[in-house]
């Protein structure tokens, strides 16, 4: 049939014809999920084994480790014990701003080592000093222990009581998953703090509402996409002394009655993520409260995609976009 004989229906005046495509997960992530389908879930392992396994699963040797000027490991005084931390020093110096990074892992897993590649890429893309905090983990240390550690570490950085020997008054708070929760709660707590200026919060697929909320994505992506609903239940049960604590705003920032005091926010969400809907809802509520929000939704990614440095383009893209946002925040 010739092209002249093809009849294309015309839309009525004032209409727009739109082609819709269903989101499809990135082929590399689909392959990784299939390969890992038969692996024992971390929440079914003894805790010590799960933590060892998390290092190889969250930061495998195949990921790219960005070239930066240097790193410096430190021990800092926490509320009850010394805490591990690591500075990531950018090439070409810095402008006195620090990004304090709080790692994910459901408040139970993870640490400085699991998020090394992420922090290196954030440092490289932004040209900004990054400080990664190793806070106490649940279930040995339930809420609010980890949060107290993060607040102490942030104040330690602000006061300049570290190897770089200078006071820092301009901060970004950043975190992924459970670390995004801690970063956001810390931003709420420090909003009235006159000793430091929180320029913004950088949240990657944050765990921002207690699982009792029943968001739709909990069932849509309950299994088969990396972070499962079963693991989410386990994380929360480990972290909190009781389920009723989940309604507090310093546990579930999405439930805060007033978000107008929050700093400018960069928030990245992923389509194939059990936490998708609470992230989308948080972006919407912040914007409604008058907070400047840069929300990027990746419709072919799953939870944790920023860990895949050098393997999927979106992992570097999110930090490139965040870096542009940070430059705008510095100027405003």
297 in catalytic set: no
Tell me the two tokens of residue 166.
């200078």
Please identify which of the residues 121, 126, 132, 177 carries the catalytic annotation.
177
Specify whether 273 is catalytic. Answer: yes
Given a contact cutoff of 8 angstroms between Cβ atoms, the answer to whether 312 and 247 are in contact is: no
Band of pLDDT at residue 22, cut at 50, 70 and 90: low
Determine the Cα–Cα distance for residues 131 and 123; give it in Å rounded to an integer: 9
C-alpha 175/C-alpha 249 separation (Å) is: 17
User: How much is the pLDDT for 68?
Assistant: 95
Among this protein's residues, is 176 annotated catalytic?
no
Buried b (16+ CB within 10 A) or exposed e, 40-51: eebbeeebeebb
Selecting among 116, 303, 316, 323, the annotated active-site residue is 303
Burial of residue 313, with CB atoms counted within 10 A of its CB: 0-12 exposed, 13-18 middle, 19 or more buried: exposed
Tokens of 197: 């200026």
* pLDDT of 61: 76
Give 134-164 pLDDT, tens digit per residue: 999 999 999 999 999 999 999 999 888 666 6
Domain ranges of the chain: 54-331
Topology annotation, domain 54-331: Rossmann fold (3.40.50)
Q: Which of 116, 176, 273, 277 is catalytic?
A: 273
Cβ neighbours around 80 below 10 Å, total: 12
Nearest C-alpha neighbor of 227 from the set 265, 309, 248, 236: 236
Q: For 189-218, what is each residue's pLDDT tens digit? A: 988 766 678 999 999 999 999 999 999 999
CA distance 193 to 40: 44
Of the chain, the percentage scoring pLDDT greater than 90 comes to 78
The answer, yes or no, to whether residue 322 has pLDDT greater than 70, is yes
């Amino acid at each position: 049939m010739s092209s002249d004989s093809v009849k294309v229906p015309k839309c009525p005046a004032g209409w727009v014809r739109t082609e819709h495509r269903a989101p499809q997960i990135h082929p590399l992530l689909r392959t990784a999920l299939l390969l890992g389908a038969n692996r024992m879930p971390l929440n079914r392992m003894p805790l010590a084994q799960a933590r060892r396994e998390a290092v190889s699963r969250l930061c495998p040797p195949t990921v790219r480790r960005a070239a930066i000027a240097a790193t410096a490991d430190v021990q800092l005084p926490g509320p009850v014990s010394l805490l591990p931390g690591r500075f990531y020093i950018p090439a070409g110096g810095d402008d006195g701003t620090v990004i304090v990074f709080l790692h994910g892992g459901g408040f139970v897993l993870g640490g400085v080592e699991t998020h090394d590649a992420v922090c290196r890429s954030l440092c490289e893309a932004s040209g900004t000093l990054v400080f990664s905090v190793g806070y106490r983990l649940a279930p040995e240390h339930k809420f609010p222990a980890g949060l107290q550690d993060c607040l102490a570490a942030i104040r330690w950085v602000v006061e300049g009581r570290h190897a770089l020997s200078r006071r820092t008054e301009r901060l970004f708070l950043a975190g992924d998953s459970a670390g995004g929760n801690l970063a956001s709660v810390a931003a709420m707590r420090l909003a009235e703090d006159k000793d430091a200026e929180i320029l913004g919060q950088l949240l990657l697929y944050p765990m921002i509402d207690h699982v009792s909320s029943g968001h739709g994505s909990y069932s849509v992506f309950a299994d088969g996409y990396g972070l499962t609903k079963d693991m989410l239940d386990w994380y929360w049960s480990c972290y909190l002394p009781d389920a009723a604590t989940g309604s507090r705003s310093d546990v579930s920032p999405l439930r805060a009655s007033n978000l107008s005091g929050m700093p400018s926010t960069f928030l990245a969400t992923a389509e194939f993520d059990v936490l998708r809907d609470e992230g989308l809802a948080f972006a919407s509520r912040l914007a409604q409260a008058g907070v400047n929000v840069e929300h990027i939704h990746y419709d072919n990614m799953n939870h944790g995609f920023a860990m895949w440095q050098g393997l999927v383009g979106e992992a570097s893209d999110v930090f490139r976009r965040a870096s542009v946002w940070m430059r705008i925040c510095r100027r405003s």
